[in-house]
């Protein structure tokens, strides 16, 4: 039994040791504020072009947090990191990072992007007033997947924020933003 576990565990450890440095490098690919803003604008455009509900929310939102490239890796213990922008009134209103730590049955790495549409003045102000926002605490965030999207329309919008996960690539089974901490950064 123990030798069987070693045959699985050792290759997984090697995989994580190889993937983690590469994942960290990808997460820091946008080295300047201008590059981060351009990457974020492009990611939002891809999302809204391919998703009519996201396009509608984008037009109605008071502000939008866009993280174009989050990198997640783990083997039992894992983490995710990425940087993005807060857009308000069609312009970049601040730079933010997204950090998640997790543990449990997990192995692999992946990258993805996400956007949070802040629908109320209260939700947009909360981002400005806090030194770090943990998703799941503060404004109510609904993660929009295929099931939620079927029942959501401009007349049923009632929550503070709606999040879309997009551009998923990699070897992990799922993505969650619950427990993610978003903090303002001054020099991306």
Per-residue pLDDT of 133-152, as tens digits, reads: 766 555 666 677 644 444 45
Q: Where are the domains of the chain?
A: 2-185
Task: Tell me how far the alpha carbon of residue 132 is from its chain's centroid.
Answer: 15
User: Given the DSSP bridges, would you call strands 91-118 and 141-143 parallel, antiparallel or unpaired?
Assistant: unpaired
Contacts of 103 (CB under 8 A, 6+ apart): 76, 77, 78
Q: In whole angstroms, what is the distance from residue 70 CA to residue 7 CA?
A: 30
Q: In whole angstroms, what is the distance from residue 85 CA to residue 127 CA?
A: 12
Please report the pLDDT score of residue 9 as a whole number: 47
Please report the pLDDT score of residue 187 as a whole number: 67
Residues (pLDDT < 70) of the chain are 1-30, 134-142, 145-158, 172-179, 187-188
Q: In whole angstroms, what is the distance from residue 111 CA to residue 162 CA?
A: 20
């Amino acid at each position: 039994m123990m030798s069987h576990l070693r045959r699985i565990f050792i290759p997984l450890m090697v995989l994580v040791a190889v993937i983690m440095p590469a994942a960290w490098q990808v997460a820091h690919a946008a080295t300047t504020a201008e590059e981060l803003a351009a990457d974020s604008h492009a990611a939002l455009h891809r999302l809204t072009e391919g998703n009519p509900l996201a396009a509608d929310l984008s037009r109605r939102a008071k502000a939008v947090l866009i993280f174009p490239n989050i990198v997640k890796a783990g083997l039992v213990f894992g983490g995710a990191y990425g940087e993005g922008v807060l857009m308000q009134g069609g312009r970049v209103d601040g730079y933010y990072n997204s950090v998640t730590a997790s543990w449990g049955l997990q192995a692999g790495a992946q990258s993805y992007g996400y956007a949070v549409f802040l629908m109320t003045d209260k939700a947009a102000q909360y981002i400005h007033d806090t030194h770090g926002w943990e998703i799941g605490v503060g404004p109510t965030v609904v993660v929009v997947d295929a099931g939620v999207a079927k029942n959501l329309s401009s007349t049923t919008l009632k929550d503070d924020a709606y999040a879309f996960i997009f551009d998923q690539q990699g070897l992990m089974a799922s993505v969650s933003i619950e427990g993610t901490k978003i903090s303002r950064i001054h020099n991306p």
